[in-house]
Amino acid sequence: MFANIETNLLGLDRLQEHGTGRILSQVIAIVVLAVVAHLLVWLVHFISDWVVRKSAAKRNPVGFVMRQPKFITLTRLVASGLTFAIYFVALGYVLVNYFSLNLSAYLASASVIGLAVGFGSQGLVQDVVMGVTLIITDTLDVGDIVEIGGQVGRVERVGLRFTELTNFFSQIVYVPNRTITNIACFPAGGVDGFVDVQLPTKVDRKVALDAIQRVARTAWEQFNAIVLSEPELSEIKLNEPGAGAVLRVRMKIWPGQGALLENTVRLRMLDAMKVLEPAYADWMVSVVYRAETARDKDGF
């Protein structure tokens, strides 16, 4: 009788040892799987970063990393998708093989959770969809000056959730992608303003030209946050006999800052001309904004 009891106790101990060993082996297997999944995710991100750096180095041999919103964002998007897939497969493997969860039940649960998250974060989904659309269609690019929803600024980053702008006051403006409906892009990098100066008939042309160039260049150097490029001079040929010559000063300015041309630059041009010709009239200097024509490109 005692021998039977001892045998039963010995069998129970072996069963407990076997169960403990099995649980321990499962825990080790899960930990190893988690480590492998983490390493795979790290490898995916490492490769994506390497590809971005390699592409930037090819575009700029001095080593300055250029921001390429379309390429970088798509690379990050692929890396995020692979990361999700790795973790999803690893979690499903653990639940199905070590916790006896049915594969169909796991997929169904994931679908229900995904549907609930989708309904609860419709704004996020709209942001991502619109962000991908902006990137693929090349609607925006870093460095463009645009107007979006009443905000005018230079594009700093095109992300999956937000488009980042820097406005005239150096403020960072984050525009949710789902709110972007109309985009006004300034393809020339700003607004082209033209200051037309009619040359005095009694003044040497070269003297007047030097005075106009001096005023334009001084304005560019003083207000370089508004005047975005060096002024360019061209001549408008008038068909009217005795109408004289008109010099056109082309100045690319930040959108919405036309008051600089209409007031400061125009008044300085008037003062410079009146020094040369006291009878010079105010109407002989005007400011216009319009698309550039082939004639405007003809310089001296």
Residue, of 287 and 244, whose pLDDT is higher: 287
CA angle centred on 79, ends 75 and 84, rounded to 5°: 150
Taking 80 as the threshold, does the pLDDT of residue 152 lie above it?
A: yes
Tokens 């021998």, residue located: 3
pLDDT digits (tens, 9 = 90+) for 74-121: 666 677 777 878 877 888 777 777 777 777 776 677 666 665 555 455
Is the separation of the CB atoms in 169 and 134 below 8 Å? no
pLDDT at 292: 52
Secondary structure E strands in the chain: 145-148, 151-158, 162-166, 172-176, 183-186, 191-198, 232-236, 246-253, 285-289
Taking 90 as the threshold, does the pLDDT of residue 261 lie above it?
A: yes
CATH 1.10.287 describes domain 2-120: yes
Instruction: Give the chain's mean pLDDT.
Output: 76
Domain 191-297 classification at class level: alpha beta
The proportion of the chain whose per-residue pLDDT surpasses 90, expressed as a percent, equals 21
Residue, of 72 and 278, whose pLDDT is higher: 278
Lowest mean pLDDT among 221-235, 258-272, 284-298: 284-298
Taking 50 as the threshold, does the pLDDT of residue 44 lie above it?
A: yes
Tokens 């005047």, residue located: 227
pLDDT digits (tens, 9 = 90+) for 191-207: 899 999 988 888 888 89
Is the separation of the CB atoms in 165 and 176 below 8 Å? no
Using alpha carbons, list the distances in angstroms from residue 293 to 193, 202, 206.
13, 30, 25
What value does the mean pLDDT take over residues 48-77?
58
Residue, of 49 and 234, whose pLDDT is higher: 234
The verdict on pTM exceeding 0.85 is no
**Dihedral over Cα of 84, 86, 89, 95: its sign:** negative
pLDDT at 57: 53
pLDDT at 117: 53
pLDDT at 272: 92
Taking 70 as the threshold, does the pLDDT of residue 240 lie above it?
A: no
pLDDT at 156: 85
Taking 90 as the threshold, does the pLDDT of residue 211 lie above it?
A: yes
Confidence of residue 58 (pLDDT cuts 50, 70, 90): low
pLDDT digits (tens, 9 = 90+) for 176-194: 888 888 888 887 778 899 9
Taking 80 as the threshold, does the pLDDT of residue 27 lie above it?
A: no
pLDDT at 271: 93
Break the chain into its structural domains and give their ranges. Answer: 2-120, 137-186, 191-297
Q: Any idea which architecture 137-186 has in CATH?
A: Roll (2.30)
Taking 80 as the threshold, does the pLDDT of residue 155 lie above it?
A: yes
Taking 90 as the threshold, does the pLDDT of residue 137 lie above it?
A: no
Cβ atoms < 10 Å from Cβ of 215: 24
What value does the mean pLDDT take over residues 140-164?
84
pLDDT at 65: 39
